[in-house]
């Protein structure tokens, strides 16, 4: 799994590629926590390159939502593959996340 973070003044994009599981999710967790420490107003996690995610990955994103909520920031998910999205749907977590078709739309540019 690879995590690439790009940050502007008022937003950050965390682009994740590969499988997110118990082994790899700590890296994504660290990237999210680092961005949240800076209280970036809008955090977008781009999951376009993620083919597989298990409950460890989902829990990590729930943590991101909680961290941004602490400082009234926005936490958005973008580019979820159908299978990954349906893991969220099974857990009814698709209702608590703001999920966008792609990164541009999540950033309000689409």
Distance CA 78, CA 46 (A): 5
Give the CA radius of gyration of the chain. Answer: 12
Q: Is 10 exposed, middle or buried (CB count within 10 Å of its CB: 0-12, 13-18, 19+)?
A: exposed
Distance CA 7, CA 96 (A): 24
Distance CA 83, CA 88 (A): 9
Residue 54 binds another protein (CB under 8 A):
yes
42/91 with CB nearer another protein: 91
Among 33, 38, 51, 104, binds another protein (CB under 8 A): 51
Shortest distance (Å) from residue 57 CB to another protein: 10
Residue 17 binds another protein (CB under 8 A):
no
Q: Where does this chain touch another protein (CB under 8 A) — which range of 3-11, 36-44, 56-64, 102-110?
A: 56-64
42/62 with CB nearer another protein: 62
Query: CA dist 13 to 6, 22, 51, 89, Å?
Result: 5, 22, 18, 23
Near another protein in 78-107, by CB under 8 A: 81-87, 89-93, 95-96
Binding site for another protein (CB under 8 A): 19, 21-23, 51-52, 54-56, 58-59, 62-63, 81-87, 89-93, 95-96
């Amino acid at each position: 799994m690879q995590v690439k973070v790009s940050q502007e003044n008022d937003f950050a994009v965390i682009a994740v590629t590969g499988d997110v599981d118990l082994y790899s999710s700590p890296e994504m967790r660290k990237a999210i926590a680092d961005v949240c420490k800076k209280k970036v107003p809008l955090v977008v996690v781009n999951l376009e390159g993620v083919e597989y995610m298990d409950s460890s990955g989902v829990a990590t994103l729930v943590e991101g939502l909680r961290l941004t909520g602490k400082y009234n920031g926005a936490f958005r998910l973008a580019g979820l593959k159908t299978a990954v999205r349906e893991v969220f749907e099974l857990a009814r977590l698709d209702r608590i996340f703001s999920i966008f078709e792609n990164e541009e739309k999540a950033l309000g540019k689409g």
